[in-house]
Amino acid sequence: MDIQVGDVLELKKEHPCGSRRWSVLRVGMDFRLRCQGCGHELMLPRSKAEKSVKKVIRSGEGQQT
Ligand SMILES: [Zn+2]
């Protein structure tokens, strides 16, 4: 799965604040994500993150891959 800094991840599971969308702040062995609903930040191992992502939303210039 191709995830870059600046992407927005829509997760399968809802955060307690009701949002499913997380901004990607950093990628690497761990992803650093910020909840778009409440601003909570967390680190998530790449393998776990990839499993819990439903969809990657890229606001960039229409590149799909
Ligand atoms: Zn939240």
Q: What's the pLDDT tens digit per position in 9-53?
A: 999 999 999 999 999 999 999 999 999 999 999 999 999 999 999
Q: How many domains does the chain have?
A: 1
Entry pTM: 0.86
Residue 24 C-alpha to ligand 1 middle, in angstroms? 14
Residue 16 C-alpha to ligand 1 middle, in angstroms? 6
Residue 49 C-alpha to ligand 1 middle, in angstroms? 16
For residue 44, being part of any structural domain is answered with yes
For residue 42, being part of any structural domain is answered with yes
Domain that holds residue 40: 8-57
- Using DSSP's 3-state secondary structure scheme, residue 46 falls into helix
Residue 64 C-alpha to ligand 1 middle, in angstroms? 27
Residue 27 C-alpha to ligand 1 middle, in angstroms? 19
Sheet holding 8-11, edge to edge: 41-45, 30-35, 21-26, 8-11, 53-57
pLDDT reported for residue 2: 87
pLDDT reported for residue 63: 55
